[in-house]
């Protein structure tokens, strides 16, 4: 184990509901999701934030985020829209200091449900949701 929870997940030392991985990034479901299917994309190489993030990792994170956004729309999760979000720095509400991008599915008219979930952030059957997203990724780019 290291002192970084996302490095531990990347190394397979900590559990996570993985949905996607390639040479540069690993993506897994957020343990306290803002919505069903809320995914985090993290570079394999540790950087604490945007300032020390290498350019190829930055490209790979965005590219994976784009693909996962498509999967969240195509799959039975059925998102109508997606927020891609990076919190960079404590002032911006970053709490895990290993750079990551949030991929958050949104639905038409979900504002109230979204606001309620901001307060509760309960996990939704992570393994089942991860399976659905993986399957959609296998059938699209």
Residue of 87, 106, 2 lying closest to 40 (CA atoms): 87
How far, in Å, CA of 42 to CA of 100, rounded?
Answer: 5
State the greatest distance between any 2 C-alpha atoms of the chain, in Å, as a whole number.
42
Q: Which does 92 bind (CB under 5 to 8 A by kind): Zn ion, ligand AMP, none?
A: none
100 is catalytic: yes
How far, in Å, CA of 115 to CA of 42, rounded?
Answer: 25
Residue of 100, 102, 124, 139 with catalytic role = 100
Asked if 31 is part of the footprint of ligand AMP (rule: CB under 6 A), the reply reads yes
Cβ-contact 105, 38 below 8 angstroms: yes
| 119, two tokens | 């307060």
Mask for 88-107, x = binds ligand AMP (CB under 6 A): -----xxxx-----------
Minimum CB separation from ligand AMP for residue 14, in Å? 6
Site for Zn ion in 17-56 (CB under 5 A): 46
- List active site positions: 100
Interacting residues with ligand AMP (CB under 6 A): 5, 16, 30-32, 40, 87, 93-96
């Amino acid at each position: 184990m290291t002192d970084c929870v996302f490095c531990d997940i990347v190394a397979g030392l900590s559990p996570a509901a993985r949905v996607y991985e390639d040479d540069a990034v690993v993506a897994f479901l957020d343990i306290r999701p803002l919505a069903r299917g809320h995914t985090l994309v993290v570079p394999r190489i540790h950087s604490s934030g945007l300032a020390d993030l290498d350019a190829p990792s930055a490209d790979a994170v965005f590219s994976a985020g784009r693909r996962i956004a498509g999967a969240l729309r195509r799959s039975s999760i059925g998102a109508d829209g997606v927020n891609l979000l990076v919190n960079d720095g404590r002032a911006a509400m970053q709490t895990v200091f290993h750079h990551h991008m949030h991929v958050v599915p949104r639905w038409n008219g979900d504002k109230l449900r979204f606001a309620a979930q901001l307060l509760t952030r309960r996990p939704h059957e992570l393994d089942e949701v991860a399976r659905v997203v993986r399957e959609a990724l296998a059938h699209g780019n």
